[in-house]
Every structure is written in C-alpha cells, then in structure tokens.
Amino acid sequence: MNYTTFKAPKIRAIVSHTQALVSLYPVCHVTPQKTQKQTIRAVAATAGVDFLLIVEMEITIPNEVAVMTLPGVAFFPQALLPLHIFEPRYRQMLQDALDTHRLFAVAGLDVKRLANNFEPAYRIATVGVVRACQGKEDGTSHLLLQGLARVEFTEIVGEEPYRRMKIRALTSEPGATEADNARMRTQLSRLLTTRLRLRGESADGLTRFLRGIDDPEVFVDLAAYNLCADARLKQRLLETLNVHERLELFSDWARREVNALRLQKKLQGELSDENVQNN
C-alpha cells in the first residue's frame, strides 16, 4: 500500500478528566515507522476540569482508506465523532483499522445521487483516527473518532467487505493575511457569543474551549461542526479550502441566526417561549 506524508494541523480535543492520557496515545502511532515528528502535551487546570490535549506531528496516511458513509453528517478535521459500530461490514472495517493504522474516513451521504448509486458519498470528506474504542460482548463497539485531514476521493477501490477508496489529502489556503483572518475569527466569536445569549443559553465547556482556540481555521471548523445543524452548509464549509472564505461563509450564517433571534425576541415582547401565548 502506498503512503502520503503531510503535516497535520494541531489536534485539539476536550477529554474527560477521568480518562487516562495513555488511552489517547495511539493517535501518535498512526503509522509508527513513518511518523516524522510527534509532540504531545496536555494542559489541565484544577482537578475535575477537562484536559485540553494538543498534538502536533507529521502523519503518514495511506493513499487508500476505508470509508463510512453517513446521512446528514459533515465530519471536520479536529472534530470528535462518537460512533456506534454494529453493521457486520463496519465491524470488520473497525477491526482492520485497529489492527493497522487506526484510520478510516467518514463521508456525508450525497442524497442528490441516491437514485442511481449505492450510498453515494460526497467527494470531500475527512479521515479520522480512532482515539478510543470499547468493544461489547455482542460484537458491537462504541468508539471516538477524531478528524485528521480533509481528503478528496479519487477512485472506489472496492465495496466488499466494506467500501475502500483512494484519496488525496487536501490543504487549506489562508485566502487573506494572518491579521485579517484573526480579525474575522474574533468577529465570528462575538457573533456566536451573541447567538448563545439570545438563545438564553449559558457558556458551557464547549464554548469555553472554542474561545481558547486562536487558530482561525481550527476555530471555524470546530464551531461549525458543533454549533451548526445545517448539514448542507457544513458540507459546503468542509469543501471550502480558502480559510477566509470559510470564515465569511460561517459568519454570514451566524449573522442570520442572530438577526432571526433578535426579531423573534422583538415579536415576543422579550417574553420567554413558554409565556409567548400571553403576549
């Protein structure tokens, strides 16, 4: 099997305080013989607070990977995706991944091509690494997959016992100066904070985690993955390699959300949803 080496972006994850760091370590062994550089550090606050794990390394990924196709899912680099593996084909896929490089791709289902194709996948998807996996007595498994890199599918290699496709790793381009993207990241963060306040929600662990991410690309990817319910928009963001354009696109969504929430508050006379009938 051929391999392609590329430098992955910093991998960040919120990890339960009770989860041992060693259980996350396999991420540094994607292909042990070919890993060029690996650095790992964990940042923890007081006891009981989640870890922020940061990994920076060059990873070698195969030019061919197994692919899981899921409806309504757009999986991003850096994101954490919990999965329940129960289909026989995916049980085999998982076992093969755990026995080798721990990698497989998750792609969204392109419903526009469903009529004439078997589980048609979007052309752009994300390869992830199995961070943790718990097998059950009935043969099913629960796992946590973390995104590593955007990839483009170039060819279907086979469908049995599970789908395998040739891939090409994709690299984002800034699209603007570092200062411009940093400014847009700040503006987007403020829009998301305003949206949170208008929804009557308080800051949680995810919100605080996002605020601590300075990298504009990582920020927009994780914010979109975790906060946006529009699967088509998320797929479009996944396919947008220009980081500045990605920031603009998601900022437009956040701005529409804020405007809609403000209008709703105005129409409701600032009453809560449960009391709106009294307005």
Tell me: the pLDDT tens digits for 145-156?
A: 999 999 999 999
CATH number at residue 131: 2.30.130.40
Shared domain check, 149 and 80: yes
Q: Has residue 250 been placed in a domain?
A: yes
State whether 134 and 189 are in the same domain: no
Q: What is the pTM of this model?
A: 0.78
Beta-strand runs (E) in the chain: 3-7, 11-15, 37-43, 51-62, 64-70, 80-85, 103-108, 124-135, 141-158, 164-169
Question: Pairing mode, if any, of strands 51-62 and 11-15?
Answer: antiparallel
Please say whether the beta carbons of 97 and 130 come within 8 A: yes
pLDDT for residue 4 is more than 60 = no
**Number of domains forming the structure of the chain:** 2
Kindly state whether residues 122 and 259 are assigned to the same domain.
no
In a domain, 278, yes or no: no
Same domain, residue pair 154 and 52: yes
Look at residue 242 in the predicted model and tell me its pLDDT: 98
Rounded CA gap, 79 and 129, in Å? 11
Q: 124 and 233 share a domain?
A: no
Domain of 210, in residue numbers: 178-267
Model confidence at 10: pLDDT above 80: no
Do 128 and 217 fall within a single domain? Answer: no
Residues 159 and 53 in one domain: yes
Q: Which of 114, 142, 169 is the last residue of a domain?
A: 169
**Least trusted range by pLDDT, from 18-32, 48-62, 129-143:** 18-32
pLDDT of residue 16: 34
